[in-house]
Amino acid sequence: MKKTPLTKRYEFVLLFDVENGNPNGDPDAGNLPRIDPETGCGLVTDVALKRKVRNYVELAQEDADSYAIYVKEAVVLNNLNKEAFLHHPEMELKESKPEKMAAKKREDQQTLARWMCDKYYDIRTFGAVMTTGINCGQVRGPVQFSFAKSIDPIAPMDVTITRMAVTNEKDAEKERTMGRKSIVPYGLYRMDGFISAPLANQTNFGEEDLELLWTALVNMFDHDRSASRGKMAAQKLIVFEHESRLGNAPAQKLFQLVSVERKPDVSLARAFDHYELTILPAPAGVRILEKL
């Protein structure tokens, strides 16, 4: 399915917050909220945010062609890769075994990668490594996220909780069992993102996909509720749109135009309006769009 090609480069800033929740637990630290040990600021990984985008797209485009999701729970990726070979039975294969397949000709390898891009939204958006046995090549995605980082240091809390039911027969005499939940009382996080028009044209990531990405970034937290992430919300999405496909200003200079600081009369931030957002004018050739 041919999309409307991107003709402009984009960067964007997403501000989101969490209240009494865990935005991204660290499995190596007992699922405590991720934190920069030097600054005390909270972190959310890029893959955690991409997961939320994938989940939103899967819900929003449930029955739409070319919007399937490649990386999702309980899926064997090699089985998905094999579908590309089944759709191109005319290809000459370098090797063909149940656990290993590869096209012989370079143009056939590119055809397989293009087929995967056309079918799966997250491949043409974020890219993918599809060389795990059933080889469909590698795709470099046009959309990339940074780690999100909190504006102020966070103060993670380990809260004790109780449960009236018990799990094991040996605990049946107990009135309740105890557990723990890790939360951040409040944190405002900033994530910077990048979109390359030349790479988008290589993966067939088009204008329609871009609009869906903006919608996903604004709405993804509304469909990601859980006991540990009950109150998370996107607060601001600021987009830098260049006039040209290669860009009209360095990305780092554009990100510096957006600053978020705690208001002088607020000693402890507990809400988004406790911060002051400043957006300076963009240089020539760049337009600032506020999507939220």
Residue 171 has pLDDT above 90, yes or no: no
Query: Predicted confidence band at 227 (pLDDT cuts at 50, 70, 90)?
Result: confident
Q: Which residue has the higher pLDDT, 228 or 129?
A: 129
Q: Under DSSP, is residue 122 helix (H, G, I), strand (E, B) or coil?
A: helix
Question: Is 226 among the domain residues?
Answer: yes
Residue 188 has a pLDDT of 98
Question: Is 17 among the domain residues?
Answer: yes
**Residue 109 contacts residue 189 (beta carbons within 8 Å):** no
Residue 67 has a pLDDT of 95
Query: Predicted confidence band at 187 (pLDDT cuts at 50, 70, 90)?
Result: very high
Residue 2 has pLDDT above 80, yes or no: no
Mean pLDDT on 128-140: 93
Question: Is 270 among the domain residues?
Answer: yes
Mean pLDDT on 45-67: 93
pLDDT tens-digit series, residues 77-94: 999 999 999 999 898 888
Mean pLDDT on 140-144: 97
Question: Is 5 among the domain residues?
Answer: no
Question: Is 4 among the domain residues?
Answer: no
- Of the listed ranges 175-179, 245-249, 281-285, the least confidently predicted one is 175-179
H/E stretch holding 286 reads strand 286-290
Q: Under DSSP, is residue 142 helix (H, G, I), strand (E, B) or coil?
A: coil
H/E stretch holding 125 reads helix 121-126
Mean pLDDT on 20-49: 95
Question: Is 97 among the domain residues?
Answer: yes
Q: What is the value of pTM for the model shown?
A: 0.92
Range of the domain at 122: 10-290
Specify the number of domains making up the chain: 1
Question: Is 3 among the domain residues?
Answer: no
Question: Is 79 among the domain residues?
Answer: yes
Q: Under DSSP, is residue 61 helix (H, G, I), strand (E, B) or coil?
A: coil
Mean pLDDT on 151-161: 90
